[in-house]
Amino acid sequence: MSATKVAARAHEPFVRIIKKDTISRGRAYMIRALALLASLVAGALLLLALGHNPLPVYRDMVIGAFGSAFVTKETVRIAIPLLIAGLGVALAFKMRFWNIGAEGQILMGAVCATYFALYQYQTLPQALLLIVMALAAMAGGAIWGLIPALFKARWNTNETLFTLMFNYIALECVRFLQYGPWIDPKQRGFPKIAMFEPAARLPKVFDVHIGWIVAVVLVALVYLYLTKSKQGYEITVVGESIPTARYAGMSVSRVFLRTMVISGALCGLTGYLVVAGANYTLSESTAGGVGFTAITVAWLSNLNPIVMVIVAVFIAMLQRGSNTIQTTFKIPLAAADVLTGLILFFMLGCEFFLNYALVIRDGKEKPNE
pLDDT in tens, the chain (369 residues): 555 555 555 566 767 777 777 777 788 888 888 888 999 999 999 999 999 999 999 999 999 999 999 999 999 999 999 999 999 999 999 999 999 999 999 999 999 999 999 999 999 999 999 999 999 999 999 999 999 999 999 999 999 999 999 999 999 999 999 999 999 988 887 899 999 999 999 999 999 999 999 999 999 999 999 999 999 999 999 999 999 999 999 999 999 999 999 999 999 999 999 999 999 999 999 999 999 999 999 999 989 999 999 999 999 999 999 989 998 898 888 888 888 888 888 888 887 777 777 777 665 544 444
311: containing domain: 79-316
Global pTM value: 0.90
In this prediction, residue 167 carries a pLDDT of: 97
Q: Would 231 be classed as within a structural domain?
A: yes
In this prediction, residue 97 carries a pLDDT of: 96
Q: Would 350 be classed as within a structural domain?
A: no
In this prediction, residue 359 carries a pLDDT of: 79
Q: Would 369 be classed as within a structural domain?
A: no
Q: Would 1 be classed as within a structural domain?
A: no
Q: Provide the number of structural domains found in the chain.
A: 1
Confirm if 325 and 57 have CB atoms less than 8 A apart.
yes
Q: Would 5 be classed as within a structural domain?
A: no
What letter does residue 198 receive in the DSSP assignment? G
Q: Closest Cα to residue 199, out of 304, 269, 276?
A: 276
In this prediction, residue 368 carries a pLDDT of: 43
Q: Would 363 be classed as within a structural domain?
A: no
Q: Closest Cα to residue 273, out of 200, 220, 323?
A: 200
What letter does residue 211 receive in the DSSP assignment? H
In this prediction, residue 365 carries a pLDDT of: 45
Q: Closest Cα to residue 319, out of 299, 302, 296?
A: 296
Sequence-distant (6+) residues with CB within 8 A of 270 are 81, 84, 85, 88, 102, 106, 109, 141, 290
CA-to-CA distance for 305 and 87, rounded, in angstroms? 6
In this prediction, residue 89 carries a pLDDT of: 97
Q: Would 122 be classed as within a structural domain?
A: yes
CA-to-CA distance for 24 and 19, rounded, in angstroms? 15
In this prediction, residue 350 carries a pLDDT of: 82
Considering just the CA atoms, what is the radius of gyration of the chain in Å? 24
CA 72-288-148 angle, to 5 degrees, is 125
Q: Closest Cα to residue 313, out of 82, 79, 86?
A: 79
Which H or E run includes 203?
A: none
Tally the C-alpha atoms within 13 A of residue 155's C-alpha that lie toward its C-beta.
Answer: 8
Confirm if 90 and 301 have CB atoms less than 8 A apart.
yes
Confirm if 137 and 112 have CB atoms less than 8 A apart.
yes
CA-to-CA distance for 358 and 360, rounded, in angstroms? 6
CA-to-CA distance for 46 and 261, rounded, in angstroms? 43
Cα–Cα distances (Å) from 14 to 9, 87, 121, 332, in that order, read 10, 38, 64, 40
CA 109 to mean position of chain CA atoms:
16
CA-to-CA distance for 224 and 82, rounded, in angstroms? 20
Q: Would 297 be classed as within a structural domain?
A: yes
